[in-house]
Amino acid sequence: MNNTAPPETSDAARLAAASFRAVHGEAPEGVWAAPGRVNLVGEHTDYSGGYVLPFALPHRTAVAARFRDDTTLTVATLGSDRRIQHAPPMRVPDLTPGTPTGWAAYVAGVAWVLRELGMSRGADLVLAGDVPTGAGLSSSAALECATALALLAGNGHGDPDDDERATIAGWAQRAENEFVGVPTGVLDQTASLCCVGGHVLFLDTGSGRREQVPFDAAATGLTVLVIDTRARHRHSESGYADRRRSIDHAMRLLGTGSLGEFDRPRLPDVLAALPEESRPLVRHVVTENARVLSVVRLLRQGRYADIGSALDASHDSLRDDFRVSSPELDLAVDLVRSAGALGARMTGGGFGGSAIALVPDDARASVESALRRGFRDARLRPPRLFPAVPSPGAGRCAATP
């Protein structure tokens, strides 16, 4: 399916354009925006050739751009305090992994990857967005993907088709892996670029096969509620890299490039071939891949309410076998399950961040108040709650706002 529908002009795009005017005294040549995501199921499977099932959020990061005749890149961002911060100007030919750090690294990393591909044109970029940061909702991928589309346009490329979007996702992932230095998979960038409204995206990260699966939960009286626990964990980067190394090691021992090739019936043999410490991790991945396939089957049959048990099993596996949950995520999941959610799980990399819950509309008020009360009783900050509606992927904003 083609992702041709231009994203609506979002608040993020308007803010980016207004901030561009404030910084540069004129309108940008264009604004490109890319969404954050939630992953419905299929966690920590995207760096071993497994399956994922994300959808794009309405929250977006927007990049307002004016293109230059030289190779200078200037970048400014509208901070959450509504003040504009400037990164030191950069020259695209001089970019080297490691500098700058922080938010500007994601922009510079994308410019670096494009330079390696022969595209070095400079630009003045001003960013704004409403994807919650540090919440496991892919604010970094949104920033990378919006930047990539803007810089590609500046280098003379038109709107990418679906296959080109998947290629660009790989470039954005490379920026994050090699320039920023975080060894993530390709889930977030593919979701940001390839999702379409009203659908979840089935992605087989082994073969690259993608399929849009209709997902209109609202029509069946259900809401996917996002629960941002607002707990950011210090160990998230080292924990992620550690899990990835362990999975790479297990794949080497099994002599495979993809855990996606093992289905559930083969699990006992697979585990028997591994040392004790690798078994829970691989058990998570193999069972999680099976859960993705079963959720896709149920969604195709319109049996939305029946996916709850797979979401629950996914969380339990991430908590007990993969060990990437956190006390706050476990609390959120326990609270919503007891208050009437049909299923709930952490979403994203874990170690803090967000959970999702599948909630019947008539239980929504009691689920939300159980969460607020439970977090208060545990002396935690109130969680941020919002419904997740499957939204369009990244693109140029229809008209410069």
Quote the tokens at residue 12.
């993020």
Active site residue 188: yes
Q: Rounded to the nearest whole angstrom, what is the least distance from the CB of residue 174 to ligand GLA in the complex?
A: 13
Closest approach of ligand GLA to the CB of residue 173, in Å: 8
Helix (H, G, I), strand (E, B) or coil at 88: coil
Residue 144 binds ligand GLA (CB under 6 A): no
**Which of these ranges, 70-78, 180-188, 262-270, 294-302, lies near ligand GLA under the rule CB under 6 A?**
180-188
Q: Give the residue with the Cβ less far from ligand GLA, 47 or 304.
A: 47
Q: How far is the CB of 213 from ligand GLA (least distance, A)?
A: 18
Q: Say how far apart CA 146 and CA 269 lie, in whole Å.
A: 44
Q: Among the candidate windows 43-51, 148-156, 271-279, 363-371, which touches ligand GLA by CB under 6 A?
A: 43-51
Residue written as tokens 């920033």? 143
Cβ proximity to ligand GLA: between 187 and 194 the closer is 187
Contact 393, 193 (CB under 8 A): yes
Q: Is 44 in the site for ligand GLA (CB under 6 A)?
A: yes
Which residue lies nearer to ligand GLA by CB, 308 or 348?
348
Candidate list 46, 130, 188, 312, residue with the active-site label = 188
Q: How far apart are CA 5 and CA 179, in angstroms?
A: 31
Binding mask 181-210 for ligand GLA (x = CB under 6 A): ---xx-xx----------------------
Q: Determine if 260 is a binding residue for ligand GLA (CB under 6 A).
A: no
| 348 part of the interface to ligand GLA, by CB under 6 A | yes
Nearer to ligand GLA, 71 or 258 (CB): 258
How deeply is 208 buried, as exposed, middle or buried, from its count of CB atoms within 10 A (0-12, 13-18, 19+)?
A: middle
Tokens at residue 119, please? Answer: 């595209």
Question: Phi and psi (nearest 5°) for 229?
Answer: -70, -15
Helix (H, G, I), strand (E, B) or coil at 253: helix
Task: Give the nearest distance from C-beta 13 to ligand GLA in angstroms.
Answer: 24
DSSP assignment, residue 93?
A: G
DSSP code at position 2:
-
First to last CA, the chain: 28
Query: Per this entry, what is the length of the chain?
Result: 401
Does 92 contact ligand GLA by CB under 6 A?
Answer: no
Q: Does 50 bind ligand GLA (CB under 6 A)?
A: no
| Minimum distance of ligand GLA from residue 50's CB (angstroms) | 9
Task: Decide if residue 349 touches ligand GLA (CB under 6 A).
Answer: yes
* 363-369: Cβ within 8 A, 24+ apart: 363/339, 364/223, 364/225, 366/339, 366/340, 367/225, 367/335, 367/336, 367/339, 367/340, 367/341, 368/225, 369/339
- Considering only the stretches 22-30, 37-45, 252-260, 265-273, report the one whose residues sit in contact with ligand GLA under the rule CB under 6 A: 37-45
Residues whose CB falls within 8 Å of the CB of residue 240, separated by 6 or more in sequence, listed in order:
182, 183, 184, 324, 349, 351
Side-chain half-sphere CA neighbours of 309 within 13 A:
5
Give 201's strand partners: 212
Is the Cβ of residue 367 or residue 394 nearer to ligand GLA in the bound state?
Answer: 394
Q: Which of 34, 43, 227, 281 binds ligand GLA (CB under 6 A)?
A: 43
Residues identified as active-site: 188
Binding site for ligand GLA (CB under 6 A): 39, 43-44, 46-47, 184-185, 187-188, 348-349
